[in-house]
Structure 1
Amino acid sequence: MQPVGAAAPLRVDIAEKTFRSSEGVSVTALKNLAFEVRQGEFACLVGPSGCGKTTTLRILLGLDTDFSGSFQMPASDDGRIAAVFQEPTLLPWRTVEQNVRLALPKAMRHTDLTRLFDSLGLSQMRELYPSELSLGLARRVALARAFAVEPTVLFLDEPFVSLDDQTAERLRYLVLSVWSARPTTALMVTHNVREALMLSDRIILLSARPAHVLGYFDIRIPRESRNPQVMSDLARSFRQKFPGVMQAEMGYP
């Protein structure tokens, strides 16, 4: 299948991003941060907690314009961008289906979402309200909302954080299933190396604050072939390339 997306990659070149702390101290979050995400690629932005990963995503989403540098989104006819945040941010007075459909552009408002709801295990929950959902199910709705718009670029900000291991693992496989049906350029923020090794084509490793790129780790093994032994081998290769990085905080002991 030909990946969906534009020919041009997502390009990021942030010279500097600073902010003022609650104590009034100027803090540099990002410094000379430059990387690319290729067409139809699922990339993971990995780094220690607090290094500036979410700040980077906020800049790319246009939620933070106070920085020096530039970025370039892949060009496309529709230019649709979707994001999944740590919190599902669902409207409590709307049903599951209404929350998803509200994100659709007018031309797609009547799209048949049956297959999408089926793939995410939400078929029996379309008429439920957010208050009737567990956190794991609410995260599924947030994922459905993002995938429903058929985005050119998909951003995910630690969408599995704070979930128990079993629920998080189930959601990872669901994301892979839905994304593989329509591959699009995706950038996911995580501090979990194991998660990145499971999901991505490329890991972009960031330093501690101020964040810059320490290096790349490309994974050419098909996802369906990443069994426990392969994952162990990938982890060992990653550890050899970036010694000292895989602390317990980042998904491996």
Structure 2
Amino acid sequence: MTAASTGTGPLEVDITRKVFRGADGSHTHAIERIAFEAPAGSFTTLIGPSGCGKTTTLRIVLGLDAAYAGSVSRPDPDGRIAVVFQEPRLLPWRTVDQNVRLALPAGMENENLDDLFEIVGLSQMRQRFPTELSLGLARRVALARAFAIRPSLLLLDEPFVSLDEMTATRLRQLLITVWSARRTTALMVTHNLREAVQLSDRIVFLTERPATVRGIIEIETPRKDRSADWREAQVKAIDTRFPGVL
């Protein structure tokens, strides 16, 4: 395994093999080869069946799992990495403002976050506690915390799972709004093809375990032109090209 980076270059992932060893000594071949490139400042999504290695890939990119064959080249060797998990993971005894500021590195403790709170719609809730928030609002706090550190790489692990579709749709649009305002290279994992079509510059489709890349689709249509009808047409076209992806 090697991990390297070059300035503001692309995220380059080339995982040639990943095997898990069980407590009983058995081996599970999780990844055969996952290779793709995410240009600097782009939004890339991994999509595939459950258990195919999507989250494992995020863990490898994040640096939490070094036991693999291959290489990962991140956009910035000294840049910060932010992660948005499936659950907001907020500290209940701290306010919204304090939860967001927890992630700030040394030297940024007093960062002016007024514009960020305004973008995510939390300006009036900075002194609230997590127990006073709906799940949708808590997810907004998690997004704000990720963007507050101005990361060079943003990783998202199914950030809108378990939300009703109306709330999830609003939060997807919110994600694009704050990402556009604080542009960074983003890599997201999801099972939701409609979500991927709405958000992504490119979608990387993975096979079942042991995972390989089934195909990659580039989406060039500007996000402002991705209407509901356009998204449904894209979903149908992708499902035809990659049967069973829905």
**Is TM > 0.5 for Structure 1 vs Structure 2?**
yes
In the alignment, which residue of structure 1 is the partner of 2:12? 11
SS at match of 2:198: helix
Amino acid in structure 2 at the alignment position of 1:193: L
User: 1:68 aligned to 2:59?
Assistant: no
Q: When the two structures are superposed, what TM-score results if normalisation uses the length of structure 2?
A: 0.92
Determine if contact 1:6/1:39 at 8 Å carries over to the other structure: no
In the alignment, which residue of structure 1 is the partner of 2:3? none
TM-fit CA distance, 1:134: 1.9
Amino acid in structure 1 at the alignment position of 2:181: A
Where do 1:199-218 residues align within 5 Å? 199-218=199-218
In the alignment, which residue of structure 2 is the partner of 1:44? 45
In the alignment, which residue of structure 1 is the partner of 2:30? 29
In the alignment, which residue of structure 2 is the partner of 1:251? none
Amino acid in structure 1 at the alignment position of 2:11: L
Structure 1: which 4+ aligned runs deviate by more than 6 Å? none
Amino acid in structure 2 at the alignment position of 1:70: S
In the alignment, which residue of structure 1 is the partner of 2:89? 89
Question: How big is each residue's C-alpha offset from its partner over 1:180-202, in whole Å with a ceiling of 9 and x where there is no partner?
Answer: 11221100000111100000000
Distance in 2, Cα, partners of 1:124 & 1:98: 14
SS at match of 2:58: helix
Where do 1:107-126 residues align within 5 Å? 107-126=107-126
Where do 1:91-240 residues align within 5 Å? 91-240=91-240
SS at match of 1:106: coil
TM-fit CA distance, 1:92: 2.0
Question: How big is each residue's C-alpha offset from its partner over 1:70-116, in whole Å with a ceiling of 9 and x where there is no partner?
Answer: 1110125x411111011111122211111111111222221111111
Q: When the two structures are superposed, what TM-score results if normalisation uses the length of structure 1?
A: 0.90
Distance in 1, Cα, partners of 2:40 & 2:198: 19
Amino acid in structure 2 at the alignment position of 1:20: R
**Which has the higher mean CA deviation after the structures are superposed, 170-179 or 229-238?**
229-238
Amino acid in structure 2 at the alignment position of 1:57: L
Identity over aligned pairs, percent:
58
TM-align CA RMSD: 1.7
Determine if contact 1:6/1:152 at 8 Å carries over to the other structure: no
Amino acid in structure 1 at the alignment position of 2:69: S
Distance in 2, Cα, partners of 1:151 & 1:231: 29
Distance in 1, Cα, partners of 2:8 & 2:109: 27
User: 1:53 aligned to 2:26?
Assistant: no
Determine if contact 2:194/2:232 at 8 Å carries over to the other structure: no
TM-fit CA distance, 1:22: 6.2
